[in-house]
Amino acid sequence: MPSVVPQGARCALHGSDEMTPLRFEAGRLPAGIGRFLFFGAVYRSGAFHLLRSRLSAAGSKVTIAMFHRVADRDPDDSYSLPTLFISRRRFEKTIDFLRAHYRIISLDDLLEALDGRRELAPHSMVLTFDDAYADVFENAVPALAERSVPATVFVPTDFVGAADRLFWWDECYFLLRRLSGSPGTVRGALIRLGHAEIVDWLESARSRPLGDDVLSLVHTLQSMPDPGRRSLLDVLWEQTGLPRAPLLACNAMADWSTIRRAAADGITYGSHTCSHLFLDCADSQTIRDELSRSKREIEGQLDRPVHTFAYPGGKLTSEVERWVEEAGYRCGVTTEPGLNGLGDSPYTLKRISIWNGTVSGPGGGFSPGRLAFNLLALRKARGDARRVRS
């Protein structure tokens, strides 16, 4: 088995901030550059401002942004899922862009507007972060505090300060990347390890042969029942013999003392269940327990009420919505892209995902045009269907 950490490898939190540079060929534009030229033209022409004004006319629409991780990630890093990251530089530029074009309010302010107790200013926006990774508190919170920008972090309480806990998608990405780098394909490696039934399940779920697109495979595994996914990961850890320590170091979670300190910088908190439970396929007793237990733990740790909730993976049903309300939450945010109107249900609030892929132009630089286009939520991004929802 090759070394888990190749010589010169860097953890996700210490990698390069740059993306792959463009390759020019004589007589041809780089792939995709036409799209970026379009984004830039829309932004510079004033069309963005016109469309934004129409979409949020008279304060009737509000945008909720969704972030996950803020850190500089090496493009070759295999220790953490790339579609959750925005680099520190791009994050700061994003926040400065949002401050220039939107009025950033707290999630509590939005709830008061939805209740009819506050007027919603035009172009209002709320910032949210899922999962409470440590890098959010190391890199995002100071940038927000410096600009006096409020935000809400949704906390899966079982992971707080847990030095030995990993989210399944980080484990999955790491293990599948290792298998894809071995002789043959991921499909062949899984079969060699005795997991032909997993290959059959994945190919059935995908309705196509299993390839080596690791991000797509991780996305497919979202729909696998949790016990089966957990069993697969446990067996792969055992059979590959890979150590967990490097992965734990690159995917550290915040602890309660860090979370409490950030509250003084304008950060508020909501629940993300205890175990990041997908609520569309768990039994009712487990769901109700995690909804109430996570709420109580955050309130006990912070000595303040918790009334906001984020559905893990955006997974919900009408029954789950009702249980969220019965547990004492005043809202639930999803991963469904879109804007929110004052007449919308507070328990199915939409969000716009922001990560490196939604703010970067050709060569990896910050692209205000691309960010502006994505914020309009005119359509679901083509890559959105392959994003792993956390």
Helix axis angle, 284-302 to 256-263, nearest 10°: 60
316 assigned to some structural domain: yes
Is residue 1 a part of any domain in this protein? no
- Angle 205-184-192 from CA coordinates, rounded to 5°: 70
What pLDDT does residue 218 have? 85
Give the pTM: 0.84
Asked if residue 305 and residue 260 are part of one domain, the reply reads yes
pLDDT at 226: 82
The more confident residue out of 43 and 364 is: 364
- Check pLDDT > 60 for residue 129: yes
- Strand intervals (E) in the chain: 61-67, 69-70, 85-86, 103-104, 124-130, 151-155, 267-271, 308-310, 331-333, 340-341, 352-353
- Report pLDDT digits (tens) over 322-341: 999 999 999 999 999 999 99
CATH number of the domain enclosing 151: 3.20.20.370
Residue 8 lies in a domain: no
Residues 184 and 121 in one domain: no
Answer yes or no: do 284 and 358 share one domain. yes
338 with 199, same domain? no
Average pLDDT score, the chain: 82
One domain for residues 209 and 358: no
Final residue belonging to a domain, choices 194, 212, 243: 243
Phi, psi dihedral angles at 267 (to 5 degrees): -90, 130
Residue 26 belongs to some domain of the structure: no
Query: pLDDT confidence of 169, banded at 50, 70, 90?
Result: very high
Q: Do 125 and 213 sit in the same domain of this protein?
A: no
pLDDT at position 376 = 84
143/257 same-domain check: yes
Q: What is the mean pLDDT of the segment spanning 357-379?
A: 84
The boundaries of the domain holding residue 215 are 168-243
In a domain, 248, yes or no: no
Is 172 found in the same domain as 135?
no
Distance, in Å, from the CA atom of 361 to the CA atom of 87, rounded to the nearest integer, reads 14
Q: Is residue 16 part of a domain?
A: no
Same domain membership, residue 278 and residue 145 = yes
Nearest alpha carbon to residue 298 among 194, 184, 155: 155
Could you say which of 243, 261, 279 is where a domain stops?
243
| Structural domain total, the chain | 2
pLDDT digits (tens, 9 = 90+) for 372-389: 888 987 654 334 433 456
* 19 lies in some domain: no
- Indicate if 303 and 373 belong to the same structural domain: yes
Q: Of 243, 278, 300, which residue is a domain's last?
A: 243
Do the domain assignments include residue 46? no
**Cα four-point dihedral sign 213, 91, 150, 302:** positive
